[in-house]
Amino acid sequence: MDPSRIRNFSIIAHIDHGKSTLADRLLEKTATLTHKQMQEQVLDSMDLERERGITIKAHAVRMNYQASDGEIYQFNLIDTPGHVDFTYEVSRSLAACEGAVLVVDATQGVEAQTVSNLLLAMNNDLTIIPVLNKIDMPAAQVDSVKQQVLDLLGGDEDEIISISAKAGMGIDDVLEAVVERIPPPAGRRESPLRALIFDSLYDQYRGVICFIRVVDGTVRKGQKVCFFSTGVTYDVEEVGTLVLDRVATPELQAGEVGYLTANIKELDEAGVGDTIMDAGEQEVEPLPGYQPLKAMVFSGIYPVNPEDYEMLRDALERLKLNDAAFSYEPETSPALGFGFRCGFLGLLHMEIIQERLDREYQVEIITTIPNVRYEVVKKTGEVIEVENPSLLPPTVEIDQVREPILSVQILVPSDYIGAVMKICNDRRGLYLNTEYLDGSRAILSFELPLSEVVIDFYDRLKSSTRGYASFDYEHKEMRAGPLAKLDILINGEPLDALSAIIHRDNAQVWGRKFCLKLKELIPRQMFEVIIQGAMGNKIIAREVVRPFRKNVIAKCYGGDITRKRKLLEKQKEGKRRAKQFGKVEIPQEAFLAALKMED
Amino acid sequence: MALHGLYIHIPFCPQICPYCAFSSLRGVDHLHERYVLALCNELCARGETYQRNPLQTVFFGGGTPTQIDPSLIGQVLETVDRVFGMCSDVEITVEANPGTVDLEKFSHLRSVGCNRLSLGVQSFDNYALKKLGRVHSSEEAIRAFSSAREAGFSNVSIDLIFSVPSVSEPAWKGSVDRAISLQPEHISAYALTIEEGTLFAKREREGMLVVLTEDDDAIQYDWTRHRLMSAGFGQYEVSNFAQDGRESRHNLGYWTGLEYLGVGLSAHSYIGGERFWNISDIESYLQRVEGKISPEEGRERVDGQTARRERFWLGLRTSQGVLLTEMEQEILKHNCRMASLVDAEFLRLEHDRVVLADSGWCRADGLAVELTDLLEQKPEGTPNVC
């Protein structure tokens, strides 16, 4: 294919603004899919994605489009995740494109996520095609949302395409705009090979499958290639294009998007962002890669049954193969035994991993309270990183504890500014400024400790602004604060997995609320459960779960054993996800108690 | 295994008690003969399917078996004898409501072969009886007891219900003492349980009925256990107490995994590793049996794990406890959770058995679940801190 007829682009949008629906329509219009193959939102191929209505992993698909100029164009649509947790994946998708279709919901207007993704696209020098979706909805505010888009992008009102992806209106205009406005890829076919790995996944039969964008040169079956960062050489086993399924082709040329397999055994060997080049080629400059990904949120994942440890490790390993953003390393907890400390992009990412472990791998797990990474400066001057609160050194050894601070932008209708202020104040936020987008909407800027955002912030923000607020964040710095560890003792023994690092000023109140929540979540059992919150040696809260006084049914009706059995099976089921701790049992929910606390 | 017991359900009642979740019917007394005929037909049909061996126990439960004419009971027993046969020392129990009996009826029941009575007294306190919606008074219950004796019943059980809302503790204690003073061979003391589908359940939902707290319920239970034991009644099951040798052989069969057949409305059976049960609608039951169709509603196979759970969940209810395999003995002997349960005087390990200790009786279900839970953990999977 002549590079001048190739268009590589993404669709970027805030969650629920209709990105996947638009993708479906593009596939339909270009006859990439027959109607029979058409499934709602085909790009979201994982069950979980379809259920949650969000795209988690980036995928790519090729379409052939006959434009109004009579020529056939090759479109490579690279899908991007839409949730705030997945900013990183957006950025790496964008690096494989020359343009982006920016979808804005005409009933919702520009949201924080729209802005941040747009900035990412602009940083990648992409051509932006603004599209206003859902214009057929009664609540659509076409004119004012157009104005919002113009305020952001500048340019001419005529450049904004009005569509309804659901009803199939305006799709041709989008396709034509992709041809007309997005520049063709600029690579040189005759140059030595340079291809960017923008995603990869592990296939149990084929090994690692690299999704690549060929920037210069050509890659074909049988070619010897070298991966820049590892220096390892491979024989290319297969290359091909992505038309929903993988379709093998003899070669991929500069400007094309497709996949490559080369008997690569470990995903680590094919790092996302790496450059693939000709083996033996010394002179080639690698492509600008990606910033190494940093997990923001950490939690312990332990098997409920210790003998499932190996199974859990295998499952995590396989998840990691498909998810560069996810990290894990072994850790041991006196209470929970052998498990893993896992790093996530955010809470949603954590929930998704948890659910995938449960559904796809059927491992019963205990997840501990998510926390952030702290930097501890010891009196000796040594600086250590603490990802697990129970490993915070004793107070006497600590000079200072630093925590990650985010700069946060919250876009909200003016009516809710007060509500947002309150939430951020309650969470140790530092207010910076307010910027009015138009008369009715404002962007509020804050500095907030990540630890306060990790837990429940997004839900609370949404609920107290009736869903109108949207927010975006980036890491700002590590900052010292009066932070200390709260330990939870169960019947006098510390349960390390329940330790939390909290702000001293809130310690009393928080500790009491936490113990009370634990009391609600720990069911009555054979033995008394005494829950204590302690800062150092000082007990600051105490709650008691009283033991069963009577737990026996009086009568088994006329030999109806099945009824009694069902009652006891229910009791037994309750123990399934509980962890034995001394004489008592702590259910999984208790380990996540901090997520369920009311403000 | 041989069939041990036979349960025969008689659903007819003079009045529906607000706490009762059994199949019971009022105002259909014209169906007595037709129903008994159906029972006999079901017995014959079952007899063709299952091994016919002389039975150890026969139990007429209800409903109110004394609501129907004793000759009908006799008719059923004749069929039982013809189809299965009965051992020479067979225990034949009839549940009797003190409001539906007199000397003549008792004598008649004796003459057709019944040799054990389970008298549904529930309380000797008239306020409590009213609360429980019973048709009889305390005085009638006492008269019924002496009539039974007069008719020649030498094995009589008295049923009592405690933890009845708004009934005072002294009133309950008085009931127990009155029961003891009558010198029955057997006393069942059941905690009132609010069952789905009963009037009590509805009243509770509406906030009209406030049940006792777990603590108060436990206090009444523990007091009752100790009082009955000091009066010479041995506790051989969670709710059952008997003078030596007078335990209900029929009910013990349920707890110890013996096979039983149940006939009649909503009756349950356990035969050949399968549990099955009959439909609970009287019209459908009659039509099916009369049309020579099985009245069975459902059936399940008890698999290995379920059988083991049942062995513990039922067996632990009895004073004999659960007979352990050697492997189970080994696991329990070295398990830390088990050690804490023994320390707390909830359970006792007696070489090849695990039995309830004194503080265990009121927690028997929870303990049974604990036991199966810890036995079902794979051996290496118990990182218990001792």
Q: Which pLDDT band holds residue B383 (cuts at 50, 70, 90)?
A: very low
Of A551, A555, A562, the CB nearest to B366: A551
The answer on pLDDT for A62 being more than 70 is yes
Residue type, A374: Y
Query: In the predicted model, what is the mean pLDDT of residues B310-314?
Result: 94
For residues A170 and A176, the answer to whether their CB atoms sit within 8 Å is no
Question: For all residues of chain A together, what is the average pLDDT?
Answer: 84
> Between chains, do A552 and B363 touch, taking CB under 8 Å as contact?
yes
Query: Is pLDDT at B172 greater than 60 in this prediction?
Result: yes
Question: Residue B54: what pLDDT?
Answer: 94
A interface test, pick of B250, B268, B322, B345 with most A CB neighbours within 10 Å: B268
Over 70: is that where the pLDDT of B330 sits? yes
Residue B63, preceding peptide bond in cis (omega within 30° of 0): yes
Contact B54, B84 (CB under 8 A): yes
DSSP label at residue B342 = H
Confidence of residue A543 (pLDDT cuts 50, 70, 90): very high
Query: Given a cut of 80, is residue A450 above it in pLDDT?
Result: yes
pLDDT of res. A80: 62
Cβ(B173)–Cβ(B144) below 8 Å: no
Helix B70-83 × helix B32-49 angle, to 10°: 10
Nearest residue to A549 (alpha-carbon basis) of B281, B298, B221? B221
CA B261 to chain centre: 15
Q: Has residue A54 got a pLDDT over 60?
A: no
Structure confidence at residue A124 (pLDDT):
77
Give tens-digit pLDDT for A572-597: 887 777 888 888 999 888 888 777 77
Q: Is the predicted pLDDT of residue B267 greater than 60, yes or no?
A: yes
> Per CATH, which fold does A387-481 belong to?
Alpha-Beta Plaits (3.30.70)
State the amino acid at position A595 in one-letter form. L
CB B190 within 8 A of CB A555: yes
The residue among A11, A133, A14 whose CA lies nearest residue A63 is: A11
Q: What is the mean pLDDT of residues B5-18?
A: 95
Q: Test A306 with B380 for CB contact under 8 angstroms.
A: yes
Q: Which of B24-28, B294-298, B363-367 has the lowest mean pLDDT?
A: B24-28
Tell which of B356, B363, B371, B375 to mutate to test the A interface (max A CBs under 10 Å).
Answer: B363
Both tokens assigned to A365: 């797990």
Pick from B7, B322, B373 the residue to mutate for testing the A interface (most A CBs within 10 Å).
Answer: B373
Q: What angle do CA B248, B252, B254 make, to 5 degrees?
A: 130
Asked if A557's CB is within 8 angstroms of B21's CB, the reply is yes
Q: Give A593→chain B minimum CA distance, Å.
A: 23
Residues of B in contact with A555 (CB under 8 A): 190, 193, 239
User: Helix H segments across A42-164?
Assistant: 47-52, 87-94, 112-123, 142-153
A 403-462 residues with CB < 8 A to B: none
Half-sphere exposure of A345 (CA within 13 A, CB side): 22
Q: Give the DSSP letter string of B62-75.
A: ES-GGGS-HHHHHH
Nearest CA in chain A to B300: A562
SS3 B175: helix
For residues A132 and A142, the answer to whether their CB atoms sit within 8 Å is yes
B162 to chain A, any CB pair closer than 8 A? The answer is no
- Quickly name the fold that domain A194-278 has: Elongation Factor Tu (Ef-tu); domain 3 (2.40.30)
B residues 321-350 lying closer than 8 A (beta carbon) to A: 337, 340-341, 344, 346
Q: Is B267 on the interface with A (CB under 8 A)?
A: yes
Reported as a pLDDT band with limits 50, 70 and 90, residue B225 is very high
pLDDT digits (tens, 9 = 90+) for A142-160: 998 998 888 888 888 889 9
Q: Which amino acid is at A116?
A: S
Please give the angle made by the CA atoms of B357, B362 and B367, to the nearest 5 degrees. 65
Q: Give the right CATH number for A3-181 from 3.30.450.40, 3.40.50.720, 2.60.260.20, 3.40.50.300.
A: 3.40.50.300
Give residue A512's Cα distance to chain centre.
32
Residues of B in contact with A525 (CB under 8 A): 366
Tokens of B319: 């004073």
Using a CB-CB distance cutoff of 8 angstroms, which residues of chain B are in contact with residue A564? 313-314
Where along chain B do its domains lie? Answer: 3-255, 311-381
User: Which residue from A127, A134, A117, A140 is spatially nearest to A58, judged by alpha carbons?
Assistant: A117
Task: State yes or no: pLDDT of A50 exceeds 50.
Answer: no
CA–CA separation, B57 and B5 (whole Å):
5
**CB contact B221 to A (< 8 Å):** yes
Of B9, B367, B383, Cβ closest to residue A558:
B9
Of the listed ranges A87-91, A310-314, A468-472, A475-479, the one predicted with least confidence = A87-91
Whether residue A358 is predicted with pLDDT greater than 60 in this model: the reply is: yes
Read off the amino acid at residue B203. Answer: R
- CA pair distance A567, A298, nearest whole angstrom: 38
Side-chain-side CA neighbours of B269 within 13 Å: the count stands at: 23
> Residue B181: its pLDDT value, please?
98
Which of A203-217, A242-256, B233-247 is predicted most confidently?
B233-247
Q: How far apart are CA B256 and CA B17, in angstroms?
A: 30
Task: Check: CB of residue A218 under 8 Å from CB of residue A189.
Answer: yes
* Smallest Cα distance from A331 to chain B, Å: 16
Which CATH fold topology does B3-255 show?
Answer: TIM Barrel (3.20.20)
End-to-end CA distance of chain B: 42
pLDDT of the residue at A181: 95
Average pLDDT (A237-241) is 92
Reported ipTM exceeds the 0.95 cut: no
Tell whether A307 is within 8 A of chain B (Cβ).
yes
* A136 backbone φψ class: left, alpha, beta (φ>0; ψ -120 to 50): alpha
Of A263, A286, A264, the residue nearest A275 (C-alpha): A286
State whether residue A562 sits within 8 Å of chain B by CB. yes
Tokens coding A224? 């010897």
What is the spatial distance between Cα A67 and Cα A521, in angstroms, rounded to a whole number?
Answer: 61
Q: What one-letter code names the amino acid at A221?
A: K
If you ran DSSP here, which 8-state letter would residue A158 be given? G
Residue A468 near residue A483, CB atoms below 8 Å: no
Q: Is the pLDDT of residue B244 over 70?
A: yes
What stretches of A267-397 adopt beta strand conformation (E)? 275-278, 297-303, 327-333, 337-344, 365-367, 374-378, 383-386
Q: Which residues of A35-53 are buried (b: 16+ CB within 10 A; e: fewer)?
A: eeeeeeebbbebeebbebe
Lowest mean pLDDT among A346-350, B120-124, B355-359: A346-350
Kindly state the tokens that stand for A209: 């499958």
In whole angstroms, give the CA distance from residue A75 to residue A1.
11
Between these two residues, A64 and A48, which has the higher pLDDT value?
A64
3-state secondary structure of A539: strand
Q: What is the mean pLDDT of residues B191-209?
A: 94
Q: If you average pLDDT over every residue of chain B, what do you get?
A: 94
What's the average model confidence in pLDDT over A394-401?
Answer: 92
Q: Can you tell me which residue has the tokens 């009558």?
A: B182
In chain A, the residue whose alpha carbon lies closest to the alpha carbon of B309 is A565
Residue B370 has pLDDT above 90, yes or no: yes
Q: How confident is the model at residue A244 (pLDDT cuts 50, 70, 90)?
A: low
From B241's Cα to the closest Cα of chain A, the distance in A is 13
The CA distance from B295 to B280, in Å, is 9
Q: What is the rounded average pLDDT of the residues B39-65?
A: 92
A75: CB partners within 8 A, 6+ apart? A7, A8, A9, A26, A30, A62, A63, A64, A65, A175, A178
Cβ of residue A549 closer than 8 Å to a chain B Cβ? yes
Q: What was the pLDDT predicted at A52?
A: 44
Residue A28's pLDDT band, with cuts at 50, 70 and 90, is confident
Edge-to-edge order in the sheet of strand B240-242 = B234-237, B240-242, B186-191, B156-162, B116-122, B86-96, B55-62, B3-10, B259-263, B268-271, B274-278, B296-301
- Domain locations along chain A: 3-181, 194-278, 297-367, 387-481, 484-596
> Chain A neighbours among B 286-315 (CB < 8 Å)?
300, 306, 309-310, 313-314
User: Which residues have CB under 8 Å from A128's CB, separation 6+?
Assistant: A99, A100, A102, A118, A121, A122, A153
Question: CA-to-CA distance for A229 and B351, rounded, in angstroms?
Answer: 67
Which pLDDT score, from 0 to 100, does residue B49 have?
83
The confidence score (pLDDT) of residue A38 equals 55
CATH architecture for the domain at A297-367: 2-Layer Sandwich (3.30)
CB contact under 8 A, B214 and A549: yes
The H-assigned helical ranges of A391-506 are: 417-426, 450-454, 457-464
Do residue A564 and residue B313 have CB atoms under 8 angstroms apart? yes
Comparing A297-367 with A387-481, is the CATH topology the same?
yes
Taking residue B329's Cβ as centre, other Cβ atoms within 10 Å add up to 16
* C-alpha distance from B250 to closest chain A C-alpha (Å): 10
Choose the weakest-confidence range: A515-524, A527-536, A589-598, B316-325: A589-598
pLDDT at B386 over 50: no
- How near does any CA of chain B get to the CA of A394, in Å? 25
Q: Does A527 touch chain B (CB under 8 A)?
A: yes
Residue pairs between chains A and B whose CB atoms are closer than 8 Å: 124
End-to-end CA distance of chain A: give it in Å, rounded.
Answer: 59
Q: How far is CA A66 from CA A36, A176, A178, A244, A590, in A?
A: 22, 9, 12, 19, 58
Please say whether the beta carbons of A440 and A411 come within 8 A: no
Rounded to an integer, the average pLDDT of A315-331 is 83
The answer to whether domain A484-596 has CATH 3.40.50.10680 is no
Q: What is the rounded distance in angstroms from the CA atom of residue B328 to the CA atom of residue B326?
A: 5
Which residue in chain A has the smallest CA separation from B21? A557
pLDDT at A578: 80
Spatial contact of A93 and A10, defined as CB atoms under 8 Å apart: yes
- As a whole-number percent, the residues of chain A with pLDDT over 70 amount to 90
Q: What angle, rounded to 10 degrees, do the helices at A457-464 and A417-426 form? A: 150
Interface contact B262, partner A, CB < 8 A: yes
The residue among B323, B317, B313 whose CA lies nearest residue B353 is: B323
Is A388:A467 a contact under the CB 8 Å cutoff? no
Tokens linked to A80:
């991007």
Min distance A147 CA to chain B CA atoms (Å):
57
Question: Which residues from A are below 8 Å from B190, CB to CB?
Answer: 554-555
Among the residue ranges A284-293, A345-354, A528-537, B316-325, the one predicted with the least confidence is A284-293
B160 neighbors B176 (Cβ within 8 angstroms): yes
Q: Which residues of A touch B370 (CB under 8 A)?
A: 526
- What is the pLDDT, as a whole number, of residue A289? 62
Task: Check B267 against A306: CB less than 8 A apart.
Answer: no
